Amino acid sequence: MNTMTNQPLSERLDFLREAAATSAAIDVAESLGVFARLDQGPADALSLARDCAIGERGAGVLLSALASLGLVEADAERVYHATTPDLVGLAALRTRWNGLAEVLRTDQPVIAGDSRAVRLRRIYPSVVPHLAMFFAAAAARAADHLSVAGLRVLDVGAGAAPWSIALAARDPECHVTAVDLPAVAAVTRQAVARAGLETQFAYVGGDIFAVDWGTAAYDLAIAGNLCHLFDESTNRRLLGHLLLALRPGGRLAILDAIVNERSDGPRAVVLYALGLLMRTSQGRVYPFSTYAGWLRDAGYEGVELHELSSSRAISLITARRP
């Protein structure tokens, strides 16, 4: 049984009610311009009601609801400040589910995110900054497992580079080569600049399957939020290339959503898999046993799984080149 079916029926219903209310709160905050207003600056219930043409009582309740979700916080004067940049952009994450029914009918994604051309033009440059924010805490925990003095790191499909930035921030002698599509690499540079780590990063723009990133050149290779985009044969090819990029004794770090062996949990991972249907033609979440088999077949040793959060929304798999 998964963890949800182990819970009493009342707790399962409470979760569903809360999920529905959360979706409704985000929907109305976007449609009424509340997120756009809060992106411009702080507001209390009175000013929000005036600026968005809504009732003051409802404005106050909605602000409290958004605060409970961690999207805003109030100061002592009950003036609410956004806790994250671009609330409007975050709200768009919900609207991306609108095509799910058609995806299930046709078995075709709305946007093929595992296509290089689509990744380049349409998806990742806008999504990547939000992903980095989501994974910041997990990246810090991953660095606890991975950080060693003087690492030479290859970050493949780096995006906003949360995993390698967390490592570089701990050690000024850590140097990272970040590889991603040219349009995404611009986002990588911005994230690194915000972290003040420009001197520790080099960049390679191109398709990760076409770029030559060297042989036996790195102590650590990172594949973060990447393997779920691809089918088995593509992942096997990727892991084989990464093995060759590592020095003997070098380690591979896979950061991804790892489903259990029954494919019915953790809840965050299974729901994430549903979203993959909408943006990939071949992608899926895989259990640890599948990754372990690929890694051993490719020639890795010492394959281990590390959980990075209580929700297990993302996990760390490490392996070593002999």
Q: Which residues contact 122 (CB under 8 A, 6 or more apart)?
A: 111
Which carries the bigger pLDDT value, residue 185 or residue 145?
Answer: 145
The two structure tokens encoding residue 55: 């009732």
The answer to whether residue 112 scores a pLDDT higher than 80 is no
Question: How much is the pLDDT for 286?
Answer: 98
Ranking 31-35, 67-71, 107-111, 173-177 by mean pLDDT, the lowest is 107-111
H/E stretch holding 279 reads helix 267-279
Rounded-to-integer distance, Cα 274 and Cα 302, Å = 31
Under the banding of pLDDT at 50, 70 and 90, the label for residue 110 is confident
In this prediction, residue 4 carries a pLDDT of 61
Specify the range with the lowest mean pLDDT, choosing from 35-39, 81-85, 248-252. Answer: 81-85
pLDDT digits (tens, 9 = 90+) for 256-287: 999 999 999 998 999 999 989 988 889 999 99
pLDDT for residue 78 is more than 70: yes
179, 208 Cβ separation under 8 angstroms? yes
Instruction: Tell me the whole-structure pTM to 2 decimals.
Output: 0.84
Contact present, 246 and 213 (Cβ < 8 Å): no
Residue 31: name the closest of 86, 75, 117, 91 by CA.
91
Q: How many CA atoms lie within 13 A of 179 on its CB side?
A: 21
Crossing angle between the packed helical segments 162-170 and 136-146, to the nearest 10 degrees:
50
User: Domain 116-320 maps to which CATH number in 3.40.47.10, 3.40.250.10, 3.40.50.970, 3.40.50.150?
Assistant: 3.40.50.150
pLDDT band at 119 (very low <50, low <70, confident <90, very high): very low
From the candidate CATH numbers 3.40.50.300, 3.40.190.10, 3.30.70.890, 1.10.10.10, the one assigned to the domain spanning 3-95: 1.10.10.10
Give span(s): CATH 1.10.10.10, the chain.
3-95
Question: Could you tell me how far CA 125 lies from the centroid of its own chain?
Answer: 13
Residue 3's pLDDT band (cuts 50, 70, 90)? low
- Coil, helix or strand at residue 126: helix
Is 123 in contact with 294 (CB distance < 8 Å)? Answer: no
**Three-class secondary structure of residue 78 per DSSP:** coil
| Average confidence score pLDDT of the chain | 91
Closest CA to 256 of 227, 297, 215: 227
Residues of the chain with CATH 3.40.50.150: 116-320
pLDDT of residue 123: 52
Cβ pair 233, 263 in contact under 8 A = no
Lowest mean pLDDT, pick from 44-48, 82-86, 153-157: 82-86
| pLDDT attached to residue 118 | 46
pLDDT at 128: 62
- What is the Cα–Cα distance from 98 to 44, expressed in whole angstroms? 31
Q: What is the pLDDT of residue 86?
A: 87
Question: Which pLDDT score is estimated for 158?
Answer: 95
**Tokens at residue 279, please?**
């943006």
What's residue 186's pLDDT? Answer: 86
User: Angle, to 10 degrees, between the axis of helix 9-31 and the axis of helix 87-95?
Assistant: 120
Q: 26, 91 in Cβ contact below 8 A?
A: yes
Q: What would the mean pLDDT of 111-119 be, rounded to a whole number?
A: 51
Residue 70, pLDDT > 60, answer yes
For the cut 90, the answer to whether the pLDDT of residue 143 exceeds it is: yes
Q: Which pLDDT tens digit goes with each residue over 182-239?
A: 888 888 999 999 999 999 999 999 999 999 888 999 999 999 999 999 999 999 999 9
Task: Please check the confidence at residue 120 and state whether its pLDDT lies above 50.
Answer: no
pLDDT for residue 279:
84
Pairing of strands 286-287, 258-259: parallel
CA distance 55 to 32: 11
Residue 145: strand pairing partners: none
pLDDT higher than threshold 50 for residue 124:
yes
Give residue 127's pLDDT. 62
